[in-house]
Amino acid sequence: MKKAATRDGYGQGLMELGEYNQDVVVLSADLTESTRTLEFSKKYPGRFIEAGVAEQNMAGMAAGLAFEGKIPFAGSFSVFSPGRNWDQIRVSICYSNANVKIAGSHAGLVTGEDGATHQALEDIAITRCLPNMVVLVPCDALEAKKATVAAALYKGPVYLRLAREKTAVVTTFETPFEIGKALVLREGDDAAIIACGTMVYPALEAAESLAAEGYSVCVINNPSIKPLDTETIVAAAVQTGAIVTAEEHQINGGLGGAVAEVLARNAPVPQEMVAVNDTFGESGRPKELLAKYGLTPWHIVDAVKRAVGRKQEQS
């Protein structure tokens, strides 16, 4: 299967936007190559700003550009933005509802050898709690490009979560993308796996493995963490009676928590969460880290079986 990093899709989306939208401006915190903004800086130097290693300043600059009618995309590693400049994002961008797009690259364990200090595992939690903020976690490079374009069209703050590692491309050019919408990739009746980002393909692999054991499992790609597609999530809960969430993020405050909030209010059913269990990462190869911290298809398989077992105990 073809593989590409979601950060590549972000760079491609910026190049497309730069061609037809003169208001799009790109900012970088001395990471143009890593965040895939280098080509934009070369082709549109008049609409590119190198902020240097100063993420707090970059957030303020982006807010000012937005107030002057521009559509700024501010990119850095996600541990630095939104990690290091959360206060500036909260006050200068979200409180003012400024039309700023924050691109956090190198998120999650698949940042690999860079280790715990560079593996953002809390960024979904700290952004989705902010009023006015939209949080998007595309599952592959194609979806990342669509999410970047959609972010430019949306009026208000947006956080785009991106990864360094190449991952399987599971969508196509025709696959729809809309802020606030999830997409059912596979139908099923026994349980539903709701996944985002790099965990979508492992969720599909898990469903395929479970099918060989006689389980019928629905798989939902949920790139829009906020706003959440409540209708699709509730429908899956009602149809299957068992939910599993899968994300490359801390178990607290991420997709699993967001889904649990929806289920508690609308359709309480057994839920299991596949996520990093309240710990920091470490330096290592991406595949090794995903295995150690419980983020493989086989961990999803076990979670589905637990959720189905709990459902059966309640019936």
Q: Which of 283, 53, 11 is nearest to 147 (CA)?
A: 11
CA 67 to chain centre: 26
Residues tagged active-site:
55
Distance CA 117, CA 119 (A): 6
Class of domain 3-168: alpha beta
Name the residue with tokens 């595949």.
Answer: 287
Mean pLDDT of 276-280: 97
Question: For the chain, where are the E strands, in sequence order?
Answer: 3-4, 24-28, 48-50, 71-77, 101-105, 134-136, 158-161, 167-168, 183-186, 191-195, 217-221, 224-226, 243-250, 271-276
- Which 8-state DSSP code applies to residue 103? E
List pLDDT tens digits, range 222-272: 999 999 999 999 999 999 999 999 999 999 999 999 999 999 999 999 999
How high is the pLDDT of residue 69? 98
Distance CA 80, CA 113 (A): 17
Mean pLDDT of 11-31: 97
Residue 312 has pLDDT above 90, yes or no: yes
List pLDDT tens digits, range 80-129: 999 999 999 999 999 999 999 999 999 999 999 999 999 999 999 999 99
How high is the pLDDT of residue 235? 98
In the chain, what percentage of residues exceed pLDDT 90? 99
Q: How far is CA 246 from CA 2, 154, 184, 198, 271, in A?
A: 22, 27, 15, 9, 11
DSSP string, 1-33: --EE-HHHHHHHHHHHHHHH-TTEEEEESS-TT
CA 181 to chain centre: 13
Environment class of 310 (CB within 10 Å of its CB; exposed 0-12, middle 13-18, buried 19+): middle
**What strands, in cross-sheet order, belong to the sheet with 183-186?**
183-186, 217-221, 191-195, 243-250, 271-276
Average pLDDT, the chain: 97
How high is the pLDDT of residue 315? 83
Range list for CATH 3.40.50.920 in the chain: 183-310
Do 62 and 39 touch, CB atoms closer than 8 A? no
Domain 183-310, CATH number (from 3.40.50.720, 3.40.50.2300, 3.20.20.60, 3.40.50.920): 3.40.50.920
How high is the pLDDT of residue 300? 98
Would you state the structure tokens that stand for residue 293, as one six-digit string?
């911290």
List pLDDT tens digits, range 31-81: 999 999 999 999 999 999 999 999 999 999 999 999 999 999 999 999 999
Range list for CATH 3.40.50.970 in the chain: 3-168
Name the residue with tokens 């300043």.
Answer: 57
